[in-house]
A and B are shown apart, each in its own frame.
Chain A
Amino acid sequence: MQYKAIVVGVSSGGMNALKIICSALPVDFNIPIIIVQHLSAHSDSFWIKLLNEKSHLFVKEADEKEKIKKGTIYIAPPNYHLLIEKDKTFSLTIDERVNFARPSIDVLFESAAEAYRNKLIGIVLTGSNSDGTKGIKRIKDCGGLAIIQDPTTADSEYMPKSAIAAIVPDYIISLEEIVELLIKIDQEKR
């Protein structure tokens, strides 16, 4: 199985979780990673810079119409929904909030599932709401791989638990194990 993209949804407790994942991935990690983290509408790009410093990979905010590239980690800008087009470019919208959130994890996941079908990995991490549940279900329905952070290891167990209640995940594991698994998958495909 050749996975072409990884989408990640994370809410409260997310900064730490993302720091762990982004700093542990090796410099030759190939599969692009696209992240929605719930943040306040007015937050600036400071923490993207921080993540970029901590990571061996290039971390940047996703730009409108930007082509998705290998070896890059993209973060949704605050106050916009992030969608993926079938030609593997980004779209941004300011549609109403979904699950009280903009960007919403469901919006990213559902559009990514359409674009990548069974070539997609979806990951739901710590968070205290149910955003991402519908999206991860769509990913599974399209034949993608679902990884959920083990709720007992999450800062906030609500979001992973909500996802687990809706689907049969392929993996329920800790952040460290997620990193190991992703590296293994990334290397297998070469």
Chain B
Amino acid sequence: MRYKDISDIEISSLLEAIYDTYGYDFREYSQAHIRRRITNRLSVSGFENVAQMQSHVLNDETFASELLQDLSITVTEMFRDPTFYRSLRDNVMPVLKTYPFIKIWHAGCASGEEAYSMAILLQEEGLYDRTTIYATDFNQLALNRAKDGIFSNKMIKEYTSNYQLAGGKESFSRYYTSNYDNVIMNQSLKKNIVWANHNLVTDSVFAEVNLILCRNVLIYFEKNLQNKVQTLFYNSLINGGVLCLGSKESLRFSDLYDQYSEIDTKQRIYKKKY
């Protein structure tokens, strides 16, 4: 079949309709990304065109939630980018140690691997008992998986090696129990994690925190939206609080760049100025 063009107008009309009906706002997401996901969904759905798909989305919640899954990419790993976690251990944990209570926000936590990695790190540094981790995402299915803390056995080899490269001090297997094809994360890791549905585009500040991790979420946003969400983070951090972005995300071109100093430029770790 020859490739059929989807026009920009069809896409923006679909995004407007999703926003009006369901409140999810994808209008300022990367267009190339949105186009790719919609094109893929269109080709597996059997609809003739986007207009037809659009009327279906509005009348069929199941299909709508499938499309939302398409647009929200929940790909993640434990200790993804081990050198980042090593820097977190070396450069950020000492800062956290100075606080009597610690609040951490994982924005866009997907199925939770990042929050569990943090819990492990905090346990090893003796900080977990005075910490609350807020792990948020707007994808409820991903949050449900995160809450269960059950992950596929297939990934464990890679996670173990990530953990070791990140400077892990224990045997990684002490943090989970195996059950056939899956591993179940220890209850002791979950106890101070609060999982919550929060949309970075449409929801506001909900806590003052010492540390924010928002990794590989902002790459999906257009520049204006990135700046808007950076303001949300800025307003959520205490003075001297720490912001961590993904390895290919930078504050450099953000409006708020001057409000932060750099703790580790390569690992994208920044500190809010006093």
Contact = CB atoms under 8 A, between A and B. Distances in A.
B255 to A, nearest CB: 14
Contact of B219 (A92, A114, A137, A141): A92
Interface in B3-41: 3, 8, 30-33, 35-36
A110 B6 CA distance: 13
B248 A92 contact: yes
A64 B249 contact: yes
Nearest to B39: A110
Interface string A109-141: 011001100000000000000000000011001
A148 interface: no
A86 B30 contact: no
Interface residues of B, number: 19
Given A93-B219, A93-B220, A141-B3, A85 B32 contact: yes
Q: Is the interface of A mostly helix, strand, loop or mixed?
A: mixed
A74 to B, nearest CB: 13
Contacts of A85: 30-32
A65 interface: yes
A14 interface: no
A91 B2 contact: no
Contacts, number: 57
Interface stretch (A20-28, A52-60, A76-84, A177-185): A76-84
B30 A93 contact: yes
Given A63-B248, A65-B223, A95 B73 contact: yes
Given A93-B220, A111-B36, A86 B248 contact: no
B33 A83 contact: yes
A170 interface: no
Contacts of A107: 36
A64 B32 CA distance: 13
B75 A94 contact: yes
Contacts of B219: 64, 80, 91-94
Contacts of B216: 94
Contacts of A176: none
A94 B33 contact: no
Interface string A59-78: 00001110000000000010
B70 to A, nearest CB: 10
A91 B35 CA distance: 12
B249 A115 contact: no
Nearest to B37: A95
B206 interface: no
A77 B2 contact: no
A138 B33 CA distance: 16
Contacts of A91: 30, 32-33, 219-220
Interface of A: 63-65, 77, 80, 83-86, 91-96, 107, 110-111, 114-115, 137-138, 141-142
Nearest 5 CB-CB pairings of A with B: A83-B32, A91-B30, A111-B32, A141-B3, A85-B32
Interface of B: 2-3, 8, 30-33, 35-36, 73, 75, 216, 219-220, 223, 248-250, 253
12 contacts: A64-B250, A83-B32, A84-B32, A85-B32, A86-B8, A91-B30, A91-B33, A92-B219, A93-B30, A95-B73, A111-B35, A137-B3
Given A83-B30, A95-B33, 6 more contacts: A91-B32, A91-B220, A93-B33, A94-B75, A96-B75, A111-B35
